[in-house]
Structure 1
Amino acid sequence: MPATTDTHLLRNTNFRWLLGGGLVSMLGDQFTMLALPWLVLGLTGDSLSLGIAVALMGAPRALLILLGGTIADRYSPRRVLLLSKYVNAAILLALAAMLWLDQASLALAYGAALALGIASAFAIPAGTAILPQAVPPQMLQAANGLQMGARQLSLLAGPLLAALVLGARDGAQQTAMAALAAAFAIDALTFLCSAWTLRQVRLQPLATPAAPQAMWRDMAAGLAVVWRDLPLRSCYAYWALVAFFVMGPLQVALPVLASERLHGAAALGLLMGAHGAGTLAGMLASGLGGTWLRRHFGATLLAADAVVACLLMALGQIDSARQGAALLAATGMLSGYLQVAIFTWIQRRVAPAMLGRAMALFMAIFLGLAPLSAAATGALLRHLSVGELFCCGGALLLAAAVAAALLTDIPRIAGSTSAASP
């Protein structure tokens, strides 16, 4: 039963250290996610400058994440993740000190955004590769569910905590900079705290350490693992289509829908909150149906995406915030459930020595396609109504799911029971 599994999982010392430290760090991240945009806007009042700062943080993450996964596999995900936490703490403490010394500048904000983006390119694949070496295989599904649920919870609660610290920004400029400095310092301390908890984690040693070779050969070997594994390759290609058809409408068209039909930012907040709460519920419920998923992973994946497609098409027809919240809560539940199932499937399918690279490629798909999907959605909204846009996006996602069911082996993919080389 899921409850019994969760109880046993929380008795695992490694997982308790990972979950506790990760939750503290993820809550701290929300301070920087709010403080950095306010810093740029406070210095310039310019939306273009804010866009450049966001791009400086996001571009290195997308470009370097495969290198980050390669290094995590080469030198241990725990070591890479630990180093990234120290680097992030140093960046944020330096930024906080400069603000306290009244040395704020746009160049400083840009430099911090770029440095944080580079550090995250190494932290993300290391963080996703560490769990299978820290907990027993039979606990992996539940561990992913709780860990990803904690991340979603931090996205809901973290901004509220950060807002309390940044509340002082409505005063004088000097007081506002002090509040921003405090936010960055708090995030730095959470990185140091999570680094300490990570040092308590003891990973299972790899059975066959990889022989040293050139870095580019290690990277190519990771790509080859995904390419040679037909089910893995098919799923990665399919997920690229899903990311393109879904992420743009949710990021760009949803605010337009709230503005045109639901009359305001409060409605957008309700829609986004409903989606976030649904995602959290789906992640926490990920332990349900484990036996079915192990037998019918691919079929479940396509069926859930077909339902999401229909929900997106219905979203384009709403005329009240409550209708949209109900649809997005259901979408979030399916999305959260699938996220845990997908992570677990990859972690069990790919050998631990290659997992950093496999997960990095998976994350690169979404990080790289998100801005393209957003740009395409923005361009299409010049020619289509927001309702037509959601209908088109949902119809394309449904077509992709049906095509995958008819033309590929994805419906016959079963969940892997343990990590193995392809």
Structure 2
Amino acid sequence: MFGATSLTAFLALSLSVLTLTSAQKVCQVKAIGGGQDDGPNINAAFAECATGGTVVLDGYYVVDSLLFTTGLTNVNIELSGTVQYTPDIAKWSPQSYFMTFQNATTFWFLSGTGIHLYGGGTLDANGQVWWDAFALNPNAGTAGGSSRSFARPVPLTVGNSTNVTIEGLTMIGSPFWNNFVYQSSYVTYTGINISSVSYSVNPTSNSDGWDIYRSDHITITNSTINNDDDCVSFKPNSTNIIVSNLHCNGSHGISVGSLGQYAGETDIVANVSVNNVTMRDAQYAARIKVFGGSPYANSTAGGGSGYVKNITFANMIAQSVDTPIYINQCYSTNLTICAEYPSTLSISDVHYYNITGTSSGREGTVVVDLECSAPCTDITAVGTSLMSPNGTATYVCKNITTVSELDFNCTAPA
């Protein structure tokens, strides 16, 4: 066991600091080895190089304690090695950093301004252990959220930040969402390779590629995602978003929402551009999901207000996708309750350009399903070319006020 003096000396041996100028430092973290926790040394490196410095993570790091790297200004993170979080559920579930929305927690909370993470390295979250445990005790929150008693951390959260670039990163085995953009602005992700794939009979769960919450001017581009939940999800109050040049495999689509979950709260998603995305073996491609209304003032399963506006899905290719184009304004809501209490979160100004490809046939001949519990306005489609393996394609519409602006013939829900 280290005493205070010996622990300080040990940390100093594990952190190499090179001062290039009076204002610039390079903090290289030396991996301890032997399965010991590198987390304190990584946190110390960020504290030492928090202003104008470079943190170098070029080894194999075992992390058994929360990475809480905040207050950074103009910091480079050269991650060319591997950061692996220990598979200690009993420890991580309570110690991961709690962020309230949908009970999300994180292994690493990265915060500041002018941050650049690069280097081609890897974050390995040991997801298989979590997925197997979750299969035995499927303790989740509402609508793909986590729970307080079984918190499943996100590998990397960019929170309360501005002007951040994350590039050239491989992410393996997240217990939950892979990336959380939390109350931030001007964040760019490029060249990200995500793999949340189970190798046992137990599937992954809630393995979204990105979840964006209360954030503005976010760009996600040139990336590949293998998972079984949303490829990208625009959570409440996401605005001015660009998503382009993605390959999404096995996912639930590029999703607006879910929104309107909490009664008394206002959720907004606006000014979103999705372009040049290939969706393969997925449930959906272009998806909007909004809770219905609720008779309960304190509901956490619907009843929120707000709007979805100015959303463009363009040049998307569907390859064996259950329902390539999808709007559901009664998401996770009992249909009887939704009929009596329609959603008060409006959907308008949504445009589909050149959505092409094939459905899987799992929904019969349905390739488009646009169902609103309250009127959805200014919904348009041009260049739609979708085929079903089961016969002539069917397009389902309900409460769409601008069916004349769709380039397919709508039928009522069965």
TM tier, shorter chain? under 0.3
Q: TM-score, normalised by structure 1?
A: 0.22
Q: Which has the higher helix share?
A: 1
Q: TM-score, normalised by structure 2?
A: 0.22
Q: Which has the higher strand share?
A: 2
